[in-house]
A = this chain, B = another copy of it.
């Protein structure tokens, strides 16, 4: 299978790395607006007019430029997919056959992810093209799922809570430890176990803490600490607001009433 990557950000880099390890996939070219400083293959271009023939063109660009970019492609009736969680398939230009190849994972610079266990969420206009994506996905992951644009949008929304917001809670915890010159590393085993618990427990089974056990005395005490840190250390007020809103939400979930 001959593949062309359009864009070379975090997602594209991980995909190329995985494709290069497969005997069934040939990455024939990488297009990028600016020249790559460390190209993983020799065929790279910055000109759309130089794009080579391929079985699948994978657009791995920011969400807000995908539609416009797909319009500019200088060919028709070829198979073009994007890798975004939140962009609907029909945002792609209809002059080509369309599809989605969405690896449900978070990718950062300088951090290699093993794609084997990462679900690849697929969608295509035509059955034949879905078959191509299944074969392609199977080369890099053991978890291939067919998912509509509508469902993928929901999955992406859930992922925002699970990854973006969770990561911001890490940042807030770090900030709180910093106000007392405590080492954030002390919290790392807790951080990891919180995630690993999900192997064997549901979120509801794993929920603990003052709000879950309706310990209003501890909650009041925590809010007091937060107010103090706001006044003395300049802690952002949104930290205390999040405490109140989470507490309200956990109380509603497990006790059916608000504070």
* The residue from B121, B154, B189, B242 contacting A119, defined by CB atoms under 8 A apart: B189
**Is A173 a contact partner of B162 (Cβ separation < 8 A)?**
yes
Cα distance, A150 to B177, chains bound together (Å): 12
**Is B162 a contact partner of A191 (Cβ separation < 8 A)?**
yes
**Is B151 a contact partner of A182 (Cβ separation < 8 A)?**
yes
Closest chain B CB from A230 CB (angstroms): 13
What is the interface of chain A, defined by CB distance below 8 A to chain B?
A: 62-64, 86, 104-106, 108, 110-111, 113, 117-119, 121, 143, 145, 147, 150-151, 153-155, 157-174, 176-177, 179-180, 182, 186-213, 215, 217-218, 221-222, 225-226, 236, 238-239, 241-243, 245-246, 248-250, 252-253
* Copies of this protein chain in the complex: 2
Closest B residue to A250 using CB positions: B168
Main secondary structure of the interface of A (DSSP, over half): helix
**Is A195 a contact partner of B197 (Cβ separation < 8 A)?**
no
* The residue from B64, B110, B198, B217 contacting A188, defined by CB atoms under 8 A apart: B198
Chain B residues, Cβ within 8 Å of A186: 104, 119, 121, 143, 145, 155
Cα distance, A204 to B149, chains bound together (Å): 30
Cα distance, A209 to B62, chains bound together (Å): 11
* The residue from B119, B154, B169 contacting A169, defined by CB atoms under 8 A apart: B169
Chain B residues, Cβ within 8 Å of A188: 198-199
**Is A194 a contact partner of B169 (Cβ separation < 8 A)?**
no
Cα distance, A30 to B162, chains bound together (Å): 40
